[in-house]
A and B are shown apart, each in its own frame.
Chain A
Amino acid sequence: MSLNMTTRQVGDVTVIDASGRITLGEGSSAFRDMVRDLASQGHKKLLLNLGDVSYIDSSGIGEMVSGFTTVTNHGGMLKLLGLNKRVKDLLQITKLYTVFEVFDDEAEGVRSFQ
Chain B
Amino acid sequence: MAPQDFTAPAGPASSEHLLDSTLETIDAAEALVTEAAQRLGIDEDDIPGLGMAIRECVANAVVHGNRYSTKKKVYLRVWVGEKSLEVLVGDEGDGFAVTDVPDPLAEENIMKQSGRGILLIRAFVDEFAVRKREPQGTEVRLVKHLPQ
Contacts and interface: CB of A to CB of B under 8 A. Distances in A.
Contact of A93 (B55, B110, B114, B123): B123
A24 B114 CA distance: 11
A83 interface: no
A59 B110 contact: no
A67 B110 CA distance: 14
Interface residues of B, number: 20
B48 A62 contact: no
Interface string A46-69: 000000000101110111011011
Q: From DSSP, what is the main secondary structure of chain A's interface residues?
A: helix
Interface in B21-76: 23, 26, 48, 52, 55-56, 59, 63
Contact of B112 (A65, A93, A95): A65
Contact of B105 (A58, A90, A95): A95
A25 B59 CA distance: 10
Interface of B: 23, 26, 48, 52, 55-56, 59, 63, 104-105, 110-114, 116-117, 119-120, 123
B110 A96 contact: yes
Interface of A: 23-25, 55, 57-59, 61-63, 65-66, 68-69, 86, 90, 93-96, 98-99
Contacts of A90: 120
11 contacts: A24-B55, A55-B52, A57-B52, A57-B55, A57-B59, A58-B120, A61-B116, A65-B111, A90-B120, A93-B119, A94-B119
